[in-house]
Structure 1
Amino acid sequence: MSTRTTHIHEITRDLRILFRSIQAHAKHVETTCGLSGAKLWMLYEINANPGIKVSELAAALTIHPSTCSNMLDKLEQQGLINRDRSGRDQRSVHLSLTKQGESLLSQAPQPAQGELSRALQRLSDKHLATLHSGLAGLVEVLNGTGEDDDLLPIPED
Structure 2
Amino acid sequence: MTSRRKASAPEEPEQTGEADAPHMEALKKLRIVIRAAQRHSNWIEKQCGVTGAQLWVMQELHESPGLRVGDVAQRLAIHQTTTSNLVDALVKKGYVAKARARDDLRVVKLALSEQGEAVIKRAPVPARGLLPESLRKLSAQQLCELNQGLQALLDVMERADEAYALQPLPFTM
TM interval, short-chain normalised: 0.7 to 0.9
Question: Pick from 148, 151, 157: which aligns with 2:166?
Answer: 151
Match of 2:55 in 1: 40
Match of 1:50, SS state, is: coil
Bigger mean CA deviation after superposition, 103-112 or 118-127: 118-127
- The unaligned stretches of length 5 or more in structure 2 are none
Q: Which residue of 2 aligns with 1:93?
A: 108
User: How many corresponding residue pairs?
Assistant: 156
Relative to 1, partners in 2 of residues 1:18 and 1:25: Cα closer, same or farther, differing over 3 Å? same
Other-structure match for 1:18: 33
Instruction: Provide the aligned C-alpha RMSD in A.
Output: 2.6
Instruction: Give the conservation status (yes or no) of the 8 Å contact 1:40–1:111.
Output: no
Given the alignment of the two structures, is residue 54 of structure 1 paired with residue 92 of structure 2, yes or no?
Answer: no
1:68 paired to 2:83: yes
User: Amino acid of the residue matched to residue 86 of structure 2?
Assistant: M
Larger radius of gyration: 2
Aligned counterpart, 2:132: 117
Alignment identity in percent? Answer: 36
**Deviation per CA, 1:120-152, whole angstroms, max 9, x where unpaired?**
233333222110111123234435585x55236
Q: Structure 1 regions of 5+ residues with no counterpart?
A: none
Higher helix share: 1
Question: When the two structures are superposed, what TM-score results if normalisation uses the length of structure 1?
Answer: 0.85
TM-score by length of 2: 0.78
| Shift in Å, 1:115 | 3.2
